């Protein structure tokens, strides 16, 4: 049951990505990868910098989640301002379907 729910949800995300297009989907993927990288590698530094956060039971998860959300929001805003709102890069339909999906 969970397998088929995962297939259905991933199919919905593929349809959404195809409608967004290749360019915007890859910008979103780049933002996600950089935000995850920053969240994982900044967690020890932030935990040492703020000792009250390190005492909590779920401190690692909270720090990673907050850093990811902040980094993703900043990167998404910057990429919208500089890339996706100003440029529309047309790709062939086949590349748009296969690459973005």
- The total of other beta-carbon atoms located within 10 Å of residue 82's CB is 10
The pTM of the full predicted model, rounded to 2 decimals, is 0.79
User: What pLDDT is attached to residue 17?
Assistant: 86
Query: Tens digit of pLDDT for each residue in 71-98?
Result: 999 999 999 888 777 777 777 888 878 8
Average pLDDT value for residue range 36-44: 93
User: What pLDDT is attached to residue 77?
Assistant: 93
Please state the three-class secondary structure of the chain as a single string: CHHHHHHHHHHHHHHHHHHHCHHHHHHHHHHHHHHHHHHHHHHHHHHHHCHHHHCCCCHHHHHHHHHHHHHHHHHHHHHHHHHHCCCCCCCCHHHHHHHHC
């Amino acid at each position: 049951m969970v397998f088929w729910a995962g297939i259905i949800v991933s199919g919905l995300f593929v349809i959404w990505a195809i409608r967004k297009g290749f360019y915007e989907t890859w910008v979103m993927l780049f933002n996600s990868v950089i935000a995850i990288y920053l969240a994982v590698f900044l967690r020890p530094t932030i935990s040492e910098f703020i000792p009250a956060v390190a005492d909590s039971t779920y401190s690692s998860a909270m720090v990673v989640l907050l850093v990811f959300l902040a980094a993703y929001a900043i990167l998404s805003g910057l990429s919208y301002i500089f890339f996706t709102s100003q440029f529309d890069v047309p790709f062939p339909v086949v590349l748009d379907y296969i690459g973005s999906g």
